[in-house]
Amino acid sequence: MLTKYELWNFKLPLIPPRSHLYHIEPVGIGTPLVESLTGYVARLAEAHCLPPGVLMERELTSVFNKTYGSNNLHKIYPFTGALNGTGVMAADLRQALQILTLRNDLQFLTLLTWSELLPSRNLLRSIRAWCPTCYEERCTTSQLVFEHLLWSLDVVKVCPYHQQKLSQKCPHCCQTNYVLAWRSRPGYCSKCLKWLGMPLGTQISAYQNLEEHDLQFEIWIAQSVGELLAKAPYLTPLPLKDSIAKALCSYVSQVAEGNVAAFARQLQIPRNTVWVWCKGENQPSIKALLRICYCLKISLLDFLIQGVKSANSFQAVRLLPLQSKLQTRASAKSFDANKVQQNLEAVLESNDSPSPSMEEVARRLECDRRTIIRHFPSLCHAISAKYLNDRKAILLRNVQQSCDEVRRIALSLHNQGAYPSEARVSEQMSMPGYLRYREVRTALQDIQCQLGKC
Ligand SMILES: [Zn+2]
Ligand SMILES: [Zn+2]
């Protein structure tokens, strides 16, 4: 009689390949809020408890086989904006990161999808830009803080969500940052390492030097570019180089009966320049494309995508003269004085807090702010005064809360045996941006002294 033994399976289990660096998921792919590749590097470095400079130099060196030194941040500081762009630097970094993280969606954190259409000249900023309120809001709602790809484009001057100018100078050390620096960290200054977030309305110069219609134009630009970034993962086929020339020729025949000179005159662009674009010998910059799209009243995305389709699928358009901008749209609407007056009075009587600004009221009424002011100066003045008072009260309240919070955090750190340094305290604050106020800093210094550490 033979003995039966149990069977042993010596086949190795199937183990999926492991990535060398963390397989961190990028933020916002397929939305206008998509993260930038340089911002991704900073987050990846933070996850590994390394400064991005060290990550680039030590880890990426092994997979970069180029000699121009894309991995050596010191050598490429002024050009780090290009790491989010359409060229070889962005392509190399994406490839290196793909090998190390095993992520195959990193091209959408750059403009590589649009490399055939967007000339690199003046496309990207060499200096970092950011919206302090985007940082602050994500931080206060405990969401991941990241750098938006939208902010890296030179043509985008405002945040389309908070309708304020992007910042380029740290409010603490007054210095600018490179797009990717040795100590870059999303939401923080790479020079003084302090928090860059600020609540809406506290950035005093938000609307400085921007007329209402200019602001609306800048918001339109930011939204149009955002649409491009959001569409990138869903494009099949990818737009080809001749899309722009095809689209332009079609629009010239539609709106100017094929007369390039007349078309160029209305756009206020030299005739020869438009001629060269139409022949496909040269590509217009993104700024020029946006100007054309604005006049044609179509989105930049529609313009670029339609170039891929057949010429007769173009929508019928009429060229809008550039000078009139959005004023035309505002004045075209009839001004209903009764309705506007009722609304203004309702705003003044309302107990809503915070009370809206005149910009906000005008936006809600879909009227030009200056037209409203011309008709109802005293009501508008009262609304602005109420708005400013509210903002002041909110600011004072937040400063007071931050002072109390700073004392609480410092005490708790002290009880845990840790020195209540500014960096440690700000890490735990719900609104770390408020540390730039004198009252909050004094509260921190006082408690540090009381705890016998100064
Ligand atoms: Zn914002
Ligand atoms: Zn700084």
pLDDT of residue 422: 87
3-state SS of 180-197? CCCCCECCECCCCCCECC
Flag whether pLDDT at 313 surpasses 70.
no
Banded model confidence at residue 437, pLDDT cuts 50, 70, 90: confident
Q: Are residues 155 and 202 in the same domain?
A: yes
pLDDT of residue 202: 67
Residue 124 CA, ligand 2 centroid: distance in Å = 22
pLDDT tens per residue across span 36-70: 999 999 999 999 999 999 998 888 877 775 655 55
Banded model confidence at residue 167, pLDDT cuts 50, 70, 90: very high
pLDDT of residue 122: 87
CA 200 to chain centre: 15
Q: Are residues 99 and 198 in the same domain?
A: yes
Residue 25 CA, ligand 1 centroid: distance in Å = 22
Please check whether residue 347 lies inside any domain of the structure: no
Pick from 155, 146, 177: which is nearest to 28 by CA?
A: 146
Please check whether residue 348 lies inside any domain of the structure: no
Pick from 195, 200, 139: which is nearest to 395 by CA?
A: 200
Please check whether residue 346 lies inside any domain of the structure: no
CA distance 151 to 129: 6
Banded model confidence at residue 316, pLDDT cuts 50, 70, 90: very low
For the four alpha carbons of 95, 121, 116 and 293, in that order, the dihedral sign comes to positive
Residue 109 CA, ligand 1 centroid: distance in Å = 18
Mean pLDDT, range 146-171, rounded to an integer: 94
Banded model confidence at residue 146, pLDDT cuts 50, 70, 90: very high
Please check whether residue 10 lies inside any domain of the structure: no
- Nearest ligand by distance to the CA of 167: 1
Residue 172 CA, ligand 2 centroid: distance in Å = 5
In the chain, % of residues over pLDDT 70: 88
Please check whether residue 2 lies inside any domain of the structure: no
Element (H, E) at 158: strand 158-159
Domain finish residue from 236, 261, 280: 236
3-state SS of 111-149? CHHHCCCCCCCCCECCECCECHHHHHHHHHCCCCCCCEH
Residue 421 CB contacts under 8 Å (≥ 6 apart), including other chains: none
pLDDT tens per residue across span 274-307: 999 998 888 899 999 998 888 888 888 888 886 5
Q: Are residues 220 and 362 in the same domain?
A: no
Residue 35 CA, ligand 1 centroid: distance in Å = 14
pLDDT tens per residue across span 348-399: 888 877 788 888 888 888 888 888 888 888 899 899 888 888 888 888 998 9
pLDDT of residue 190: 95
Its domain, for residue 47, covers 19-236
Please check whether residue 331 lies inside any domain of the structure: no
Q: Which of 17-26, 66-75, 251-260 has the lowest mean pLDDT?
A: 66-75
Q: Are residues 179 and 86 in the same domain?
A: yes
Q: Are residues 314 and 376 in the same domain?
A: no
- Nearest ligand by distance to the CA of 150: 1
Q: Are residues 207 and 280 in the same domain?
A: no
Tell me which residue has tokens 């700000």: 426
- Nearest ligand by distance to the CA of 177: 2
Tell me which residue has tokens 């967007």: 118
Element (H, E) at 442: helix 438-450
- Nearest ligand by distance to the CA of 133: 1
Q: Mean pLDDT in the chain?
A: 84
Residue 186 CB contacts under 8 Å (≥ 6 apart), including other chains: 39, 42, 43, 46, 135, 145, 146, 147
For residues 76 and 344, which has the higher predicted lDDT (pLDDT)? 344
**Number of domains composing the chain:** 3
Flag whether pLDDT at 144 surpasses 90.
yes
pLDDT of residue 58: 85
Q: Are residues 276 and 376 in the same domain?
A: no
Q: Are residues 372 and 228 in the same domain?
A: no
Residue 211 CA, ligand 1 centroid: distance in Å = 19
Q: Are residues 292 and 361 in the same domain?
A: no
Domain of residue 298, CATH code: 1.10.260.40
pLDDT of residue 438: 86
Please check whether residue 7 lies inside any domain of the structure: no
pLDDT tens per residue across span 205-256: 544 555 666 788 899 999 999 999 999 999 877 778 888 888 888 888 888 8
Concatenate the DSSP letters of all residues of 265-287 into one string: HHHTS-HHHHHHHHTTSSPPPHH
Mean pLDDT, range 307-329, rounded to an integer: 41
pLDDT of residue 325: 39
Mean pLDDT, range 335-349, rounded to an integer: 86
Residue 348 CA, ligand 1 centroid: distance in Å = 27
Residue 69 CA, ligand 2 centroid: distance in Å = 27
Banded model confidence at residue 317, pLDDT cuts 50, 70, 90: very low
- Nearest ligand by distance to the CA of 181: 2
Please check whether residue 84 lies inside any domain of the structure: yes
Domain finish residue from 326, 361, 394: 326
pLDDT of residue 324: 40
pLDDT of residue 362: 85
SS3 159: strand
Residue 164 CA, ligand 1 centroid: distance in Å = 7
Residue 298 CA, ligand 1 centroid: distance in Å = 24
Peptide bond into 32 cis (omega under 30): no
- Nearest ligand by distance to the CA of 159: 1
Q: Are residues 67 and 175 in the same domain?
A: yes
- Nearest ligand by distance to the CA of 130: 1
Q: Is 102 left (phi over 0), alpha (psi -120 to 50) or beta?
A: left
Domain finish residue from 216, 236, 256: 236
Residue 79 CA, ligand 1 centroid: distance in Å = 25
For residues 420 and 69, which has the higher predicted lDDT (pLDDT)? 420
Q: Are residues 221 and 246 in the same domain?
A: no
Q: Are residues 148 and 184 in the same domain?
A: yes
- Nearest ligand by distance to the CA of 176: 2
Flag whether pLDDT at 140 surpasses 70.
yes
